DNA sequence: GTCTATATAGCGATAGAC
DNA sequence: GTCTATCGCTATATAGAC
């Protein structure tokens, strides 16, 4: 008779998965509670008993996705030569931000930034700000070693991250059909790191 | 008795203005034909007699905004010293892409890139692609003069444009409250141009 | 706790008067 | 060409059976 406890947890996750998929795919307004319930394989009332209303479900689903953003390790544990470290970083970072999940959450938060400012801020802090800090620390270390001559490491981190996104990320944001091959992307990343290193190299 | 002709044109523009505002502010699904009609000061039937249905009105409104994107002249007619030209360009470009209009259309097209791929492509070509080509031509000229050593001018243009957007543009995309002052932005732009020029300068 | 059935409101789109 | 009034439909959210 006391099965409900565990059964509820399972259904809760089913609902959250379905909600995340629908919200990030079709947007907040175009997603209906009926569709979420059907996709999760539960009744609509079950959805409401778990999350109260549509807004709460949306916030719970997207918040969870935001908190998962910073899990991937982007920098190697031991920092080797500048160019190889930053090249590796750029490849990992680019792969992360162009993943289907990342793109979907990004689009959703941006689209809802007026109606749900708390969510867009959550995404911004867990995503962009989080990575800026990490890279800035890395650049500071290379500056300390005398391998890079950087006055403002946070600013430099912002610049490198922006270059990495380049045109390709925007193409994905707008769902443009023609996109670059993996080889072309790696070529672009490698040359972008080179531009960055050359722009900040120590002359003395 | 034959006033309708001219009166119609006026109402048509009122409807288009109202539709653009609502669609870019609240998104496609969250905008209703009733609200547009009320905001435009006409009846709903008048909206339908002019534009047929919601989708057609949306496409007409956003397409018009997209076509207006490339009107601002970003580069000076006569190209002077590299750094001053690119600094001026960066300021104009940044002002353009961070305008309320640009941001609103960008967000709308990105949010609707699956349901309305034609619109997002229109925006991408009239915006990003258009500017990339213009800047690439400019960089090619400096390469020809021997002031910059650029192997791939289109790639370099993409890199500079990306740096200019930097973190600040993303803040605006997500409607983050705290943003930089005009002075801080100009400082960032100036130093970004310097990084770019230093990374691509001719060594001899 | 979970289901089916339903209340209420707002949507896109249309009909008919003037 | 423009208005008011209205049709169907679907949305969010709730009520009551088990």
Å from A62 (CA) to C8 (C1')?
Answer: 29
Asked whether the beta carbons of residue A114 and residue B198 sit closer than 8 angstroms, the reply is no
Q: C1' nearest to CA of A12: which nucleotide?
A: C1
CA–CA separation, A25 and A19 (whole Å): 10
CA–CA separation, A19 and B46 (whole Å): 37
Q: Which of residues 16-75 of B touch strand D (CB under 7 A)?
A: 42-46, 49-50
Which residue of chain A has the CA closest to B166? A162
Residue range A22-80, pLDDT digits in tens:
999 999 999 999 999 999 999 999 999 999 999 999 999 999 999 998 888 999 999 99
Residue range B118-152, pLDDT digits in tens:
999 999 999 999 999 999 999 999 999 999 999 99
Å from B53 (CA) to C15 (C1')?
Answer: 17
B201 forms beta bridges with B148
Asked whether the beta carbons of residue A166 and residue B158 sit closer than 8 angstroms, the reply is yes
Please state the pTM of the whole predicted model.
0.94
Q: Tokens for A124?
A: 């911004």
Taking residues A85-91, report their average pLDDT.
Answer: 98
Which residue of chain B has the CA closest to A176? B121
Phi, psi values for residue B148, rounded to 5° = -130, 145
Residue range B58-109, pLDDT digits in tens:
999 999 999 998 888 999 999 999 999 999 999 999 999 999 999 999 999 9
CATH 3.30.460.80 is the classification of domain B68-200 = no
CATH architecture of A4-62: Orthogonal Bundle (1.10)
Q: Tokens for A135?
A: 């890279």
| CA A31 and chain centroid, separation | 22
CA–CA separation, B185 and B62 (whole Å): 29
Chain B partners of A111 at a C-beta cutoff of 8 Å? 27, 107, 110-111
Listed range (A92-96, A165-169, A200-204, B17-21) with the worst mean pLDDT: A200-204
CA–CA separation, A75 and A192 (whole Å): 17
Domain boundaries, chain A: 4-62, 68-200
């Amino acid at each position: 008779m006391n099965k409900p406890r565990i059964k509820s947890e399972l259904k809760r996750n089913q609902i959250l998965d379905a909600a995340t998929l629908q919200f990030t795919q079709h947007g907040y307004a175009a997603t209906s509670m009926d569709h979420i319930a059907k996709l999760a394989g539960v009744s609509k009332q079950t959805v409401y008993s778990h999350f109260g209303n549509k807004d709460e479900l949306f916030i719970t689903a997207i918040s969870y996705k935001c908190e998962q953003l910073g899990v991937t390790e982007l920098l190697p544990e031991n920092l080797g030569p500048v160019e190889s470290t930053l090249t590796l970083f750029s490849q990992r970072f680019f792969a992360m931000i162009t993943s289907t999940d990342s793109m979907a959450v990004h689009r959703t938060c941006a689209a809802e930034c007026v109606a749900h400012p708390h969510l867009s801020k959550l995404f911004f802090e867990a995503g962009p700000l989080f990575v800026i800090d990490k890279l800035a620390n890395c650049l500071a270390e290379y500056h300390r070693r005398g391998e890079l001559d950087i006055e403002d490491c946070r600013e430099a981190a912002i610049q490198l991250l922006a270059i990495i996104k380049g045109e390709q990320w925007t193409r994905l944001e707008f769902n443009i059909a023609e996109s670059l091959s993996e080889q072309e992307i790696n070529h672009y990343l490698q040359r972008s790191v080179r531009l960055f290193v050359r722009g900040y190299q120590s002359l003395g």
